[in-house]
Chain A
């Protein structure tokens, strides 16, 4: 590992420093993209920790006596999770279209860029709308947020996820706005690269939550056993 080597350097010895210069240990290209990528990676780490901690508390809670999973039995809402699958598709399409948008930006194709940016926004909003619809359905059929820990976690986790999506959309709109102002394809492409990373990350988180929240009691038992709860 490079980092262990770095940490063993004796910085007071000049001859070793010359070696370092040759092995290019200096930060190479100091540009904004690279800094932004670093920042985004750290941010994704932060978000991962948030969802990880939620998940751990959730898994612990699945083992309590009053936990009633949201799927398994025919009358439970996510035994048939079609609507959630549909929402997942929206987010998947949005994630793909954002990559395509970047490709078109690299090709400097204005029309393609605009269409795909619109598609991304549209499908992301469809996802949010779909999620809101599920919340309403749950509420209407009596699965209130406070009625059962499974419901509480469903609203909590999907809500947190939606919040992250909305924050992403705001940044995304800002990208579009800047593009419309300066029409710099190169900048747009580099920004979209980061957006795409974020979208895929949230897609991944969503698929994880999807699996988690629609599991039945048996699955939770297995997971909990596996994790040693």
Chain B
């Protein structure tokens, strides 16, 4: 008897939960209203069946609960009843299936006027490519991927020169413009999913898959990888920003073509050295870093990393948090480097220097640190040597106090939380696996012990 009442209460509770739940689909931002409609139809059908079956079950339990004076009926089957039930079920199923199939037909036929965008997935970043003026993407191959050609584009393909490259986690799309998103993966399976757009599709290495939609609402939407892609799967985020025509054109104009990325300005190390003189008072003459000035070691860091960080300081992406005193300092100082050329030169100069021994304070437990560092090693390398392909800087030989401050900053969202800091978000998520100061000390001490790298 209790069970019957509980079943009734569960049905009521389920319905109440369903109708008052604040956890529901995010507001739609694409043309796929039809998907939401199909879900609603299905929810009504399954909801009615669920309520009917459960209440009937409760009713039967109450009505036919044990009574020693009664005997069960003997009724082996009732073909007529079973026939009706089959028929009704088939109708219910068809009512759900048929609209679904029509919407699916729509989903797999891409509108003629859609623009092409390529989304490239890799462990654990997104990047994008647009076809440029000719409307055609150049051919690509995995074996062509290198530091100079991270997309692996074929130089000899005539379509490739004007391809626009977005070597960051953020893609802009034009509102009300249907897009056919071509999906390509450099390494493992990924999944392109923006909940507000409703549609998603896997990225499969060795194949190009696609998905199409029309963004219908201005805004910035988070892009998630939803196919398990390794340890940092949960940090593989990106952004899709839906722009007005004007904003979109401005953004397009800021993108380099493939050809431009190939013809790099020759760097001038001597010029870089001259630029660096303004920095020596804090970072030291040889870029070795000075603890009392709270300035990290810069010598021997990779060019691309220095360039990115200096760029971030200059564009007020890093060093903007009100509690980030040192970052604010650096943000102001970075203005001394007047243009991109200066940033490139100084970066080239610093990376040509060799790093000196670093300083360790608060020695932690190296063995525990090693276990913790395992999670970091996927990107930063077993020797903390850094990895361009993973967008991960070198950590070895950096001063321990600096590493500790940065980890803590990431944990507290002081660094990396700026909306345009596209790589910082990953570190915010990852840094949280170090639960206390002790753990930070341990891992920093372990990194300190890694001296295999120049």
Interface residues of A, Cβ cutoff 8 Å to B? 10, 12
Contact = CB atoms under 8 A, between A and B. Distances in A.
Contacts of B77: 10
Contacts of A10: 76-77
Contacts of A12: 76
3 contacts: A10-B76, A10-B77, A12-B76
Nearest to A10: B76
B452 to A, nearest CB: 31
A66 to B, nearest CB: 11
Contacts of B76: 10, 12
**Chain B contact patch, size range:** under 10
Interface in B64-79: 76-77
A12 B76 CA distance: 7
A10 B77 CA distance: 10
A10 B75 CA distance: 12
A9 B76 CA distance: 12
A10 B76 CA distance: 9
A12 B77 CA distance: 10
The main secondary structure of chain A at its interface with chain B is loop
Nearest to B75: A12
B142 to A, nearest CB: 13
Nearest to B206: A64
A34 B76 CA distance: 34
Nearest to A64: B206
B355 to A, nearest CB: 40
A6 B76 CA distance: 17
A139 B81 CA distance: 68
Nearest to A12: B76
Nearest to A13: B76
A10 B78 CA distance: 12
B301 to A, nearest CB: 39
A206 B77 CA distance: 51
Nearest to B76: A12
A12 B78 CA distance: 13
Interface string B39-81: 0000000000000000000000000000000000000110000
A16 to B, nearest CB: 12
B205 to A, nearest CB: 14
A197 to B, nearest CB: 41
Nearest to B74: A12
B124 to A, nearest CB: 28
**Across the A-B interface, the 3 shortest Cβ-Cβ residue pairs:** A12-B76, A10-B76, A10-B77
Nearest to B77: A10
A67 to B, nearest CB: 14
A12 B75 CA distance: 10
A12 B74 CA distance: 10
A137 B76 CA distance: 68
A14 to B, nearest CB: 12
Interface string B216-248: 000000000000000000000000000000000
A10 B79 CA distance: 12
A187 B451 CA distance: 73
Interface string B71-108: 00000110000000000000000000000000000000
Nearest to A11: B76
A98 B321 CA distance: 84
B426 to A, nearest CB: 35
B76 to A, nearest CB: 5
A90 B64 CA distance: 71
A7 to B, nearest CB: 14
